[in-house]
């Protein structure tokens, strides 16, 4: 018989019997079970792998940029410099047109970069300096450069530049010389990379960068600008000081990506600024003009005709350059994530500053929120066996409740030291207020006020877990079913468990019975504490009774909806959804001294008399504390 069967088997399946290797068998199975052969799958994965690095780099960069840690700033900066490097390498030398465009965009970019740091030295363009010299009113003090300067503000500057053809020609000739060295950008990149601990494009470190450039020009390109060699002796001294004073509060700002080649004439100007920043402004301006004069003798000799034609020419060149630049930019089509993040951060900071909020704080919060979103979208979080999701609780649940806790109910907490720092404890409280707002506020109180920031794991009725959204929120925030098994499991794990033994009887009692404790369940919480050997911490909550005073009940509606009660409050059915806004009563939460249960031993849980006694003791403690708190309370709402 067995021969028969093996024969059948052999006939049916082509797999050799002496090939018991699991991997091979599985591969065959897969090949047979799935209609599609395994090969395309493999090729697919390989393709994916091939495409991997490019794709993998993206999210990583974005992720790195969104987290505010100090390490991130370096990494994002380094990625940005990487992007810069490639951009610089890809950019061909193009001549005066591109240089003009570069100059135009560099100017704009520099100024769009400065605004958010009002106290920093803002360099003034040559034309503006000229205007200053001539006594013309300078529009936009450095602080106002922040958000105040409008495009309209830009036009006078440009027009002065255009009118004063001499300065402009200087610029053009300058930059045309600078274009001879596209590799100098790479040099700049490395310089940037070495300075990653500073916020890369911040105006603060401009002098630093300029000084580096100056040093380099001093070494390698001596023919460029005569004003430069005078600089290095004082900038290196100011360099570390600058680095030290770099704002520490801007860690997460990624390095600004490079735009079109930042021309060397700008660097020259930086060096001039770096030199002049220590001295009086008029000095630097004079020096600048002198430089211009020295570099362009031809402009002076040519007379006004020449200056006019050159001015027109430069204008045309700039226009064409802008077009060229635009074309170049759109052909790039895909700026790195770092660039996008940088842009977003800039917008955000501008918005925050104009709204009068601290930009760093807003930036950090947004970064945190984005990081949280990313963890949600990638499933990168952990839930425990009760469904508790700490990431959600800390980042969503508690922040949502905190406005109520701090602003609306102005909760005052006493006796938080009665909650142990480690180990299990059972927090038992009075329940009131139509919906279980008091338990949520106690949860916030324990997390915010306790030095260990412990999570209160609450026990809820099964009705809570039946309801969509509510049940999910409850489980995620650490609640679980009010059953002895769950309570003991939590307590044995050393968690802080909160229980409101009155249940719906307490929450749904009429306003006339406020602060009168209802029956404390069947004492199940006491037996759970006895079995686990943990202390019971009574908590008395004053103020929750007044948030929705129950004047009446609608039993028919409650039956229809399957709820334990359907309350009528002074505002609720009357004002519709507006009536669901709780009244802003002033709350007091007092944690009483813990009641030890270890001395009774775990067997005491089976002694009903002892359990009842302890239940009564806890209940009486809470009732007495409630009375004393009510005596101390000056007013319901203040």
Partner 1 sequence: MANVVLVTGVSRYLGGLYARRLSHDPSIERILGVDVVPPRHSIGRAEFVRADIRNPMIGRIMSQAGVDTVVHMNVIATPKDMGGRVTQKEINVIGTMQLLAACQKSESVSRLVVKSSAAVYGSSPKDPAMFSEDMSPKSLPRTGFGKDSVEVEGYVRGFSRRRPDVEITMLRLANVVGPTIHTSITDYFSLPIVPIPLGFDARFQLVHEDDAIAAMMLATTGPAVGIVNVAGDGFVTVTQCTALARRPVFPVPLSSGSLLGAIVKRSGLADFSTDQLTLLAFGRGLDTTRMRTVLGFEPQYTSRSAFEDFARHLRPAVPGVDGVGDAVSDAAGGTAAAIARVFDRIQP
SS3 state at 442 = helix
Task: Rule CB under 8 A: say whether 373 interacts with partner 1.
Answer: no
Residue where the block lists tokens 């052969």:
37
How far apart (Å, rounded) are the C-alpha atoms in residues 502 and 488? Answer: 19
Stretch that binds partner 1, among 106-114, 193-201, 396-404, 432-440 (CB under 8 A): 106-114
124-150 burial: b if 16+ Cβ within 10 Å, else e: bbbbbbbbeeeeeeebbebeebbeebe
Q: Yes or no: say if 122 and 142 are a contact pair by the CB < 8 Å rule.
A: yes
Token readout for 110 is 């520099």
Q: Yes or no: say if 324 and 118 are a contact pair by the CB < 8 Å rule.
A: no
Task: Rule CB under 8 A: say whether 581 interacts with partner 1.
Answer: no
**Between 144 and 448, whose beta carbon lies closer to partner 1?**
144
Considering only residues 226-285, where is the footprint of partner 1 by CB under 8 A? none
**Between 411 and 456, whose beta carbon lies closer to partner 1?**
456
Considering only residues 307-326, where is the footprint of partner 1 by CB under 8 A? 326
Task: Rule CB under 8 A: say whether 634 interacts with partner 1.
Answer: no
Considering only residues 154-173, where is the footprint of partner 1 by CB under 8 A? 154
Q: Which of 185, 181, 182 is nearest to 221 (CA)?
A: 181
Considering only residues 393-422, where is the footprint of partner 1 by CB under 8 A? none
**Between 153 and 449, whose beta carbon lies closer to partner 1?**
153
Among 136, 141, 483, 574, binds partner 1 (CB under 8 A): 483
Considering only residues 19-38, where is the footprint of partner 1 by CB under 8 A? 19-20, 22, 25-26, 28-30, 32-33
Task: Rule CB under 8 A: say whether 466 interacts with partner 1.
Answer: yes
**Between 332 and 620, whose beta carbon lies closer to partner 1?**
332
Q: How far is the CB of 337 from partner 1 (least distance, A)?
A: 8
- DSSP class per residue in 86-131: HHHHHPPP--HHHHHHHHHHHHHHHHHHSTT-TTS-----HHHHHH
Task: Rule CB under 8 A: say whether 353 interacts with partner 1.
Answer: no
Chain Cα centroid distance, residue 210: 32
Q: How far is the CB of 355 from partner 1 (least distance, A)?
A: 16
Task: Rule CB under 8 A: say whether 382 interacts with partner 1.
Answer: yes
Number of Cβ within a 10 Å radius of residue 297: 9
Stretch that binds partner 1, among 125-133, 147-155, 191-199, 530-538 (CB under 8 A): 147-155
Q: Which of 217, 183, 178 is nearest to 95 (CA)?
A: 178
Q: How far is the CB of 5 from partner 1 (least distance, A)?
A: 5
Q: Which of 452, 425, 603 is nearest to 529 (CA)?
A: 425
250-269 burial: b if 16+ Cβ within 10 Å, else e: bbbbbbbbbbbbbbbbbbbb
Stretch that binds partner 1, among 13-21, 171-179, 231-239, 240-248 (CB under 8 A): 13-21
How far apart (Å, rounded) are the C-alpha atoms in residues 109 and 343? Answer: 12
Task: Rule CB under 8 A: say whether 465 interacts with partner 1.
Answer: yes
Q: How far is the CB of 402 from partner 1 (least distance, A)?
A: 23
**Between 55 and 453, whose beta carbon lies closer to partner 1?**
55
Stretch that binds partner 1, among 119-127, 270-278, 293-301, 335-343 (CB under 8 A): 335-343
Task: Rule CB under 8 A: say whether 468 interacts with partner 1.
Answer: yes
Per DSSP, helices labelled H in 134-229 are 151-163, 165-178, 183-194, 206-220
Q: How far is the CB of 246 from partner 1 (least distance, A)?
A: 23
Considering only residues 488-517, where is the footprint of partner 1 by CB under 8 A? 489
**Between 410 and 489, whose beta carbon lies closer to partner 1?**
489
589: β partners = 413, 541
Task: Rule CB under 8 A: say whether 105 interacts with partner 1.
Answer: yes
Considering only residues 178-217, where is the footprint of partner 1 by CB under 8 A? none
Token readout for 451 is 């030095």
Which residues are CB-neighbours of 398 under 8 A, at least 6 positions away?
443, 444, 447, 448
Q: How far is the CB of 541 from partner 1 (least distance, A)?
A: 26
Among 266, 349, 431, 476, binds partner 1 (CB under 8 A): 476
How far apart (Å, rounded) are the C-alpha atoms in residues 615 and 526? Answer: 6
């Amino acid at each position: 018989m067995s021969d028969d069967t093996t024969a059948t088997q052999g006939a049916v399946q082509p797999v050799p019997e002496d090939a018991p290797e699991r991997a091979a068998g599985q591969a065959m199975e897969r090949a047979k079970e799935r209609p599609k052969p395994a090969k395309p799958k493999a090729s697919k994965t390989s393709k994916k792998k091939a495409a991997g690095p490019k794709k993998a780099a993206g999210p990583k960069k974005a992720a790195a940029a969104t987290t505010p840690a100090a390490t991130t700033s370096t990494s994002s900066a380094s990625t940005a410099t990487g992007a810069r490097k490639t951009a610089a390498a890809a950019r061909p030398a193009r001549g005066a047109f591109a240089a003009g465009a570069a100059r135009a965009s560099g100017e704009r970019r520099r100024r769009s970069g400065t605004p958010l740091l009002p106290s920093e030295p803002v360099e003034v363009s040559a034309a503006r300096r000229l205007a200053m010299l001539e006594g013309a009113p300078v529009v936009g003090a450095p602080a106002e450069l922040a958000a105040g300067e409008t495009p309209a503000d830009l036009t006078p500057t440009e027009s002065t530049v255009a009118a004063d053809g001499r300065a402009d020609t200087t610029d053009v000739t300058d930059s045309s010389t600078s274009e001879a060295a596209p590799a100098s950008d790479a040099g700049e990149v490395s310089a940037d990379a070495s300075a990653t601990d500073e916020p890369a494009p911040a105006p603060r470190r401009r002098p630093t960068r300029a000084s580096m450039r100056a040093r380099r020009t001093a070494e390698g390109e001596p023919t460029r600008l005569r004003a430069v060699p005078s600089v290095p002796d004082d900038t290196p001294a100011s360099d570390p000081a600058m680095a030290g004073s770099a704002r520490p509060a801007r860690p997460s700002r990624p390095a600004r990506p490079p735009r079109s080649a930042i021309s060397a004439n700008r660097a020259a100007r930086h060096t001039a600024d770096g030199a002049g920043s220590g001295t009086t402004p008029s000095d630097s301006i004079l020096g600048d003009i002198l430089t211009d004069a020295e570099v362009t003798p031809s402009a002076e000799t040519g007379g006004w005709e020449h200056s006019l034609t050159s001015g027109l020419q430069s204008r045309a060149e700039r226009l064409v350059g802008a077009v060229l630049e635009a074309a170049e930019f759109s052909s790039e089509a895909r700026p790195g994530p770092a660039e996008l993040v940088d842009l977003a951060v800039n917008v955000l900071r501008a918005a925050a500053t104009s709204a009068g909020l601290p930009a760093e704080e807003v930036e950090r919060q947004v970064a945190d929120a984005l990081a949280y979103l990313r963890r949600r979208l990638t499933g990168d979080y952990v839930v425990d066996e009760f469904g508790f999701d700490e990431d959600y609780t800390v980042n969503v649940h508690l922040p949502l409740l905190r406005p109520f806790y701090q602003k609306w109910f102005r909760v005052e907490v006493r006796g938080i030291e009665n909650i142990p720092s480690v180990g299990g404890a059972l927090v038992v409280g009075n329940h009131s207020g139509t919906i279980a707002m008091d338990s949520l506020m106690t949860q916030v109180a324990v997390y915010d006020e306790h030095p260990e920031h412990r999570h209160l794991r609450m026990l809820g009725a099964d009705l809570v877990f039946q309801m969509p959204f509510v049940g999910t929120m409850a489980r995620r925030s650490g609640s679980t079913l009010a059953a002895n098994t769950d309570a003991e499991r939590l307590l044995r794990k050393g968690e802080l468990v909160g229980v409101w033994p009155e249940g719906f009887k307490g929450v749904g009692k009429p306003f006339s019975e406020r602060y009168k404790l209802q029956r404390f369940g069947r004492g199940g919480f006491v037996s759970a504490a006895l079995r686990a050997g943990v202390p019971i911490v009574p908590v008395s909550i004053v103020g929750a009774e007044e948030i929705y005073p129950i004047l009446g009940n609608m039993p028919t509606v409650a039956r229809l909806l399957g709820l334990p009660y359907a309350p009528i409050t002074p505002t609720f059915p009357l004002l519709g959804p507006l009536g669901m806004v709780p009244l802003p009563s002033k709350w007091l939460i007092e944690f009483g001294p813990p009641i030890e249960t270890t001395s009774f031993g775990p067997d005491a849980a089976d002694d009903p008399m002892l359990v009842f006694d302890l239940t009564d003791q806890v209940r009486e403690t809470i009732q007495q504390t409630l009375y004393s708190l009510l005596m101390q309370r000056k007013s319901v709402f203040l």
